[in-house]
Amino acid sequence: MNTQAIPAALAEIIDDFQALTEPERLQLLLEFSQGLPELPDRLKDHPELLEEVVECQSPLFLTIETEKDDAGAPGAIRIYFKAPPEAPTTRGFAGVLHEGLDGLSAAEILAVPDDMPELLGLTRAITPLRMRGMTAMLGRIKRKVAASIRPEF
Amino acid sequence: MSYPVEQNEKFAEYANPERLVSTEWLAAALESGAVADGNLVVVESDEDVLLYETGHIPGAVKIDWHTDLNDEVTRDYINGEAFAALAASKGISRDTTVVIYGDKSNWWAAYALWVFTLFGHEDVRLLDGGRDKWIAEGHKLTTEVPQPAAGEYPVVERNDAPIRAFKEDVLAHFGKPLIDVRSPEEYTGQRTHMPAYPEEGALRGGHIPTAASIPWARAAAGDGTYRNRGELEALYLGEAGLKEGDDVVAYCRIGERSSHTWFALKYLLGFETVRNYDGSWTEWGNAVRVPIAKGTERGTVPA
B66 to chain A: nearest residue by CA? A127
- Alpha-carbon distance of A123 to A12, in angstroms, equals 19
Average pLDDT score, chain B: 94
CA of A41 vs chain B CAs: smallest distance (Å): 25
Report the side by side order of strands in the sheet with B61-62: B20-21, B124-127, B97-101, B40-44, B61-62
Sign of dihedral through CA atoms B24, B225, A130, B250?
A: positive
Which chain A residues are closer than 8 Å to B47 by Cβ? Answer: 57
B51 to chain A: nearest residue by CA? A88
Query: What percentage of chain B carries pLDDT values higher than 70?
Result: 97
Residue among A59, A87, A125 minimizing CB distance to B48? A87
Helix-then-strand count for chain B, H and E:
10, 9
> Residue A46 is part of which domain span?
3-149
**CA angle at B192 for the pair B186 and B194, rounded to the nearest 5°:** 65
Looking at B106-218, list the stretches that DSSP marks H as alpha helix, in order from N- to C-terminal side.
107-118, 130-136, 167-173, 184-188
Residue A35, chain B, CB below 8 Å: the answer is no
What count of other Cβ atoms lies within 10 Å of the Cβ of residue B39?
17
The per-residue pLDDT for range B78-120, each reduced to its tens digit, is 999 999 999 999 999 999 999 999 998 999 999 999 999 999 9
At A117, which CATH number?
A: 3.90.1010.10
B193 to chain A: nearest residue by CA? A55
pLDDT band at A128 (very low <50, low <70, confident <90, very high): confident
Q: What is the DSSP letter of B236?
A: I
Rounded to an integer, the average pLDDT of B202-226 is 95
The B-side interface with A (CB below 8 A) comprises 47-51, 53-54, 66-67, 72, 103, 196-200
* Partners of residue B275 on adjacent β-strands: B249
Q: What is the DSSP letter of B104?
A: G
Contacts for A66 with CB less than 8 Å, ≥ 6 apart: A74, A75, A76, A77, A78, A106, A148, A149
Rounded to two decimals, the pTM is: 0.90
Rounded to an integer, the average pLDDT of B122-130 is 97
Count of domains observed in chain A: 1
ipTM of the modeled complex? 0.80
Answer for the pair A99, A114: CB distance below 8 angstroms, yes or no. Answer: no
Answer for the pair B54, A88: CB distance below 8 angstroms, yes or no. Answer: yes
- In this prediction, residue A85 carries a pLDDT of 87
CA of B103 vs chain A CAs: smallest distance (Å): 9
Would you call B50 and A125 a contact, using CB atoms and an 8 Å cutoff? no
Q: Which residues of B are catalytic?
A: 252
Answer for the pair A81, A62: CB distance below 8 angstroms, yes or no. Answer: yes
Decide if pLDDT at A60 tops 90: no
